[in-house]
Copies of this chain bind each other. A is one copy, B any other.
Amino acid sequence: MTNNSSIAAEITTVLDGAWHDLRETLRDEVDPQIQLGEPGCTVDQQRERVTNQLRALAARGHGRIGFPHEYGGTHDYGASCAAFEIQAFGDLSLLVKSGVQFGLFGGAVARLGTAQHHETYLRPIMDGELLGSFAMTEVGHGSNVQRLETTAAYDAETDELVIHTPTPSAVKTYIGNAARDAELAVVFAQLMTAEGGHGVHAVLVPVRDQTGATMPGVTIGDNGVKAGLPGVDNGTFAFDQVRVPRTNLLDAYGGIDGSGNYVSTIENENRRFFTMLGTLVRGRVCVGGGSGSAAKKALAIALRYGASRRQFEAPGDQQETVVLDYLAHQRKLLPRLAKSYALSLAQNLVIERLEELQGAEAGDKNQEGQRELETRVAGLKAVQTWHALDTIQTCREACGGAGYMAENQLAQMRADVDVFTTFEGDNTVLLQLCAKGLLTDYKEMWGDLDPRGTARAISRQLAEGMVERTTGRARLQKLLDVAKGRDDDSALDDRGWQLSMFEQRADHSLEGLARRLRRIGDGDAFEVFNKAQDHLLFAARTHIDRVVFEAFAEAVDGMDQGPARALLDQVCSLYALSSIEADRAWFLEHGRINTTRSRAITTQVNDLCQALRPHVDVLVDGMGVPEALITAPIAARRV
């Protein structure tokens, strides 16, 4: 092992985090035949290919990761997120199809269902024998799930639930697995009994028989061609008084007993709804992590090409200059590489927390921890997916015409990741959820948060002191304490000063927002809230930036001294300073830096880009993208 490859291996281990061994195993097992797509096929061919690949993955046991051991599952719950990230280095249609089958559909049966559902369905789901859909979104209701219109009315006479689509806007749409494959669907609908409505619940509804014929009363449509994800058969479901047994209700949080009475351990309808949704937070965790993998693969391709492509000669040179030696090219790619590292480390902490809170060992006591996790995941997913989209696009442009050709892999990734910014929660809506979670210190349910409710909660918070507290990580706190009070004198690579900047940006914007929203009176609630919406988004984003940077700083701080740590230390500074640089207007406006320092930060970002340039090969290898999945001719390894 050369020195460089041992440095890269150490970096990979750090980035892999707690599930390093599983990730390594999955990397070893990578099989391009069943994990990559082929450009230029028709939608039908793509769907056929992906369904076959899904079954091949299931045959290798990939579908079992994270399901309960007693029904044949393997590994822990968090492992399924780590595995998802490795799978995301392959074709993203396959990734999303797998995510629908094992994560959303299988996950809903596992999390919202009870023993009888597990007994009946989990094995065939894990093995890819029973393909299914997660039918939540409706034509008229995307982000606002509580307003779904589909109904599930209990008929006491026959002990059945009647699933119905009352209006065109109630048609389920964009549903993965719907157009071609699903036999069974988890349908989210307003549950109604003789007592009245109980809010949104999930019901298992057969949509095709085993021959593939559509079930009576069900209408299946095809969403057809999309911007990307050609191998995913998104479609629509409409139900015309479709009857299923009462026992098809996934009743972990609310059910109907043998006498036709609604029963739930959670009294409050809003709380029940958000508790149910909270158990499905893994979907967002996976989407964020998967998009991160796509960004890494794009960077690997663009950086390798940039390190070999030459264009324009410097005066006196015969040979043209390597494009990655140009500052402008470094500026495009290296800060995004640094952010990819940062997000990867933040993602690891989220997965660990998910396992703690929802894994086999978890109780369900920690409501506040669950809300905090959901808050963080909402914001992080938005930041991760926008980063991925921006990064893949930048990589495409950095590769010029070659980046536009399908064979170089960026085109399909770019088209596929696009929708990650609006599915599993629209990013703009998610950032608002994140901000509201912060404002109310995770103590309120999101659903209760109409503007006036939020204003009341904020007033309480402000009365009690700080809205948001520091992470309380002792290791980072030390660095912070040293840095405090000498802002404009600190070296720009002082980790404590960097942490302090991230902290001040996040805290001050949130506190300012809280003060602003507290002014909400009685009549003008929507207006006040709406006028502060850009502030709200900023507060959420800067909170996530801080969480991400703290994860990076802590990871570096935990490494042994040596060349790998020295390198990541610089990458960490590049992340910190390019984030501060992007918001330097805010820091100036709020007197956190002076104009001299502001300009020095830009210079330092440039210097860090040039300092990292010689280490690009190591930093690319360190990301741990399986070599067999990089087939782009422009990224061929030079010997």
A76-84, A121-129, A288-296, A412-420: which lies at the interface = A412-420
Q: B143, A227: Cβ atoms under 8 Å?
A: no
Point out the residues of chain B lying under 8 angstroms from A263, CB to CB: none
Q: B534, A606: Cβ atoms under 8 Å?
A: yes
From known contacts A315-B451, A315-B526, A585-B598, infer whether A533 and B328 are also in contact, taking CB-CB under 8 Å. Answer: yes
Contact with B along A352-394 (1 / 0, CB 8 A): 0000000000000000000000000000000000000100010
Q: A143, B397: Cβ atoms under 8 Å?
A: no
Docked CA distance A549–B476 (Å): 47
> A562 at the A/B interface (Cβ < 8 Å)?
no
- How many interface residues does A have (CB within 8 Å)? 80
Docked CA distance A545–B264 (Å): 60
Q: B401, A142: Cβ atoms under 8 Å?
A: yes
Contact with B along A416-449 (1 / 0, CB 8 A): 0011011100111000100000000000000000
Q: Which of A447-505 contact B (CB under 8 A)?
A: 450-452
> A331 at the A/B interface (Cβ < 8 Å)?
yes
Q: B598, A315: Cβ atoms under 8 Å?
A: no
> A262 at the A/B interface (Cβ < 8 Å)?
no
Q: Which of B311, B397, B584 contacts A421 (CB 8 A)?
A: B397
> A223 at the A/B interface (Cβ < 8 Å)?
yes
Chain B min CB distance to A321 (Å) = 8
> A252 at the A/B interface (Cβ < 8 Å)?
no
Docked CA distance A599–B534 (Å): 13
Docked CA distance A411–B451 (Å): 35
> A196 at the A/B interface (Cβ < 8 Å)?
no
Point out the residues of chain B lying under 8 angstroms from A225, CB to CB: 39-40, 405-407, 411
Which of the listed residues A226, A321, A401, A450 has the most CB atoms from chain B within 10 Å of its own CB?
A401
Point out the residues of chain B lying under 8 angstroms from A412, CB to CB: 227
Chain B min CB distance to A517 (Å) = 14
Which residue of chain B has its CB nearest to the CB of A173? B401
Q: B530, A327: Cβ atoms under 8 Å?
A: yes
Chain B min CB distance to A325 (Å) = 8
Q: A227, B585: Cβ atoms under 8 Å?
A: no
Q: Which of B43, B226, B422 contacts A411 (CB 8 A)?
A: B226
A18-26, A588-596, A619-627: which lies at the interface = A588-596
Q: B589, A328: Cβ atoms under 8 Å?
A: no
> A167 at the A/B interface (Cβ < 8 Å)?
no
> A42 at the A/B interface (Cβ < 8 Å)?
yes
> A396 at the A/B interface (Cβ < 8 Å)?
yes
Q: Which of B326, B403, B589 contacts A588 (CB 8 A)?
A: B589
Q: Which of B223, B320, B327, B332 contacts A144 (CB 8 A)?
A: B320
Q: A311, B401: Cβ atoms under 8 Å?
A: no
Q: B327, A142: Cβ atoms under 8 Å?
A: no
Q: A312, B414: Cβ atoms under 8 Å?
A: no
Docked CA distance A328–B530 (Å): 8
Q: B588, A407: Cβ atoms under 8 Å?
A: no
Q: B142, A227: Cβ atoms under 8 Å?
A: no
Point out the residues of chain B lying under 8 angstroms from A452, CB to CB: 315
From known contacts A227-B411, A312-B144, A595-B589, infer whether A534 and B404 are also in contact, taking CB-CB under 8 Å. Answer: no
Chain B min CB distance to A197 (Å) = 16
Point out the residues of chain B lying under 8 angstroms from A325, CB to CB: 530
Q: A327, B588: Cβ atoms under 8 Å?
A: no
Q: Which of B400, B426, B427 contacts A426 (CB 8 A)?
A: B400
Chain B min CB distance to A391 (Å) = 14
Q: A405, B525: Cβ atoms under 8 Å?
A: no
Which residue of chain B has its CB nearest to the CB of A526? B314
> A147 at the A/B interface (Cβ < 8 Å)?
yes
Docked CA distance A138–B342 (Å): 38
> A216 at the A/B interface (Cβ < 8 Å)?
no
Point out the residues of chain B lying under 8 angstroms from A224, CB to CB: 39-40, 405-407
> A174 at the A/B interface (Cβ < 8 Å)?
yes
Docked CA distance A117–B332 (Å): 44
Q: Which of A130-156 contact B (CB under 8 A)?
A: 137, 140-144, 147
Point out the residues of chain B lying under 8 angstroms from A414, CB to CB: 227, 418
Docked CA distance A321–B529 (Å): 13
Q: Which of B39, B422, B432 contacts A397 (CB 8 A)?
A: B422
Q: B406, A419: Cβ atoms under 8 Å?
A: no
Q: B531, A606: Cβ atoms under 8 Å?
A: yes
Closest 8 CB pairs of A and B: A227-B411, A225-B406, A40-B225, A585-B585, A314-B526, A39-B225, A327-B533, A315-B450
Binding site for B on A (CB under 8 A): 39-40, 42-43, 137, 140-144, 147, 173-174, 223-228, 310-315, 320-321, 325-329, 331-332, 389, 393, 396-397, 400-401, 403-407, 410-412, 414-415, 418-419, 421-423, 426-428, 432, 450-452, 525-526, 530-531, 533-534, 537, 584-585, 588-591, 595, 598-599, 602, 606
Can you list 13 A-B contacts with CB-CB less than 8 angstroms, sorted by A residue number?
A40-B43, A142-B311, A144-B312, A223-B405, A228-B404, A228-B411, A315-B526, A327-B534, A393-B418, A397-B427, A584-B585, A589-B599, A591-B595
